[in-house]
């Protein structure tokens, strides 16, 4: 569906993307994973035509984007990180506005509005002012505005930042519904459990370079190994200096091992000798963020302040 061939982008002296190559299959949900500043948003803006000054080639169904910009843009729905709604208007009026931007009108526009309201679960709030919506409801409406013209490619940049659990579930259901309609989805998120749950294929990007890509199963099979997870106030990095392959996860540490039971025994004996009782000491498997850290040395975490709205 989408082929990205040696795409490069610089901002002044800073190299935002360096020879990026990716293939995104039709009808799949492709997860683009990387920390802030890795180049995710730049790549997404290139794919939707917001950034036009770049080197390399982007092909959509074999057609070069640079030579078919308007035709390809009509096939894309773009949901940026920032919510793009007029909050003094109702949900219905926002959809009307975006629908007209896409060239829809009359009965066709009204039909699509009702379909989209049902898809995002806001049928009963269409006449409500957006400024009264929760952050999650605004996110859902923001996605709905990008779906009015029935695009076959949907680009979602951090679509669940700051949303409540109910809206997160609604967005997940929406993505599953879109996949069932054979839509191609490019999904960027810092929440790796979301990426693992929703995406069929994945690409890791760090400092403008793709460091790994493939189907979710291929990446997990290649890099996921048995490990021990340990956590506790007295469990510090210094106490683990004698162990190889230690990475940070959440409030604790992960240690991969080809012999996890022996490692577990060694750790238990060490803590017993030091009179330490860890809060958690258990068999585990490397998560996506562990794999990313192993490949790049960079942590996968969002440094922005995110609150539930």
pLDDT exceeds cutoff 90 at 118: yes
Radius of gyration in angstroms for the set of CA atoms belonging to the chain, rounded to a whole number: 22
Question: Is residue 304 pLDDT above 70, yes or no?
Answer: no
What pLDDT shows up at residue 301?
60
Q: What percent of the chain has pLDDT over 70?
A: 97
Q: Is the pTM of this model over 0.75?
A: yes
| Bridge partners (DSSP) listed for residue 1 | none
Query: Is the pLDDT reported for residue 306 higher than 60?
Result: no
- Give residue-wise pLDDT tens across range 186-243: 999 878 888 989 999 999 999 999 999 999 999 988 988 888 999 999 999 999 998 9
Give residue 56's pLDDT.
95
Which of 279, 270, 211 lies closest to 240, judged by CA? Answer: 270
Contacts of 212 by beta carbon, 8 Å cutoff, 6+ apart: 202, 203, 204, 219, 223, 291, 295
Residues 6 or more apart whose CB falls under 8 angstroms from that of 251 comprise: 231
270: pLDDT strictly greater than 90: yes
pLDDT of residue 37: 83
Give the end-to-end CA distance of the chain in Å, rounded to a whole number: 35
Instruction: Tell me the per-residue pLDDT of 5-54, one tens digit each, with 9 for 90 and over.
Output: 999 999 988 999 999 999 999 999 999 998 888 899 899 999 999 999 99
**Using CB atoms within 10 A of its CB, is residue 81 exposed (0-12), middle (13-18) or buried (19+)?**
middle
Say what the pLDDT of residue 131 is. 96
Average pLDDT of the chain to the nearest whole number: 90
Question: Hey, what's the torsion of the CAs at 272, 273, 278, 284, to 10 degrees?
Answer: -80
User: CA-to-CA distance for 153 and 147, rounded, in angstroms?
Assistant: 10
* Per-residue model confidence (pLDDT) at position 284: 87
């Amino acid at each position: 569906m989408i082929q990205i061939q040696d795409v490069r982008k610089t901002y002044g002296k800073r190299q935002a993307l360096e020879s990026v190559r990716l293939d995104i299959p039709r009808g799949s949900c492709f997860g683009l994973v990387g920390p802030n500043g890795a180049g995710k948003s730049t790549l997404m803006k290139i794919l939707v035509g917001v950034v036009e000054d770049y080197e390399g080639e982007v092909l959509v169904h074999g057609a070069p984007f640079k030579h078919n910009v308007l035709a390809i843009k009509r096939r894309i729905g773009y949901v940026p990180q920032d919510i793009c709604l007029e909050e003094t208007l109702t949900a219905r009026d926002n959809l009307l506005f975006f629908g007209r931007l896409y060239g829809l009108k009359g009965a066709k526009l009204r039909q699509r509005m009702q379909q989209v309201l049902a898809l995002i679960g806001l049928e009963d709030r269409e006449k409500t002012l957006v400024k009264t919506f929760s952050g999650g409801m605004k996110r859902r409406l923001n996605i709905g505005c990008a779906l009015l013209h029935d695009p076959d490619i949907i680009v979602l940049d951090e679509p669940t930042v700051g949303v409540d659990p109910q809206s997160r579930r609604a967005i997940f259901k929406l993505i599953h519904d879109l996949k069932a309609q054979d839509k191609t989805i490019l999904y960027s998120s810092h929440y790796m459990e979301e990426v693992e749950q929703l995406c069929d294929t994945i690409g890791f990007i760090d400092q403008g370079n793709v460091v790994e890509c493939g189907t979710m199963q291929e990446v997990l099979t290649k890099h996921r190994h048995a490990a021990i997870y340990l956590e506790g106030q007295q469990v510090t990095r210094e106490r683990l200096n004698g162990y190889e392959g230690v990475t940070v996860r959440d409030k604790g540490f992960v240690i991969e091992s080809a012999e996890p039971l022996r490692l577990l025994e060694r750790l238990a004996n060490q803590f017993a000798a030091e009179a330490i009782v860890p809060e958690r000491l258990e068999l585990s498997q490397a998560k996506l963020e562990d794999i990313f850290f192993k490949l790049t040395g960079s942590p996968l975490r969002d440094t922005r302040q995110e609150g539930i709205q």
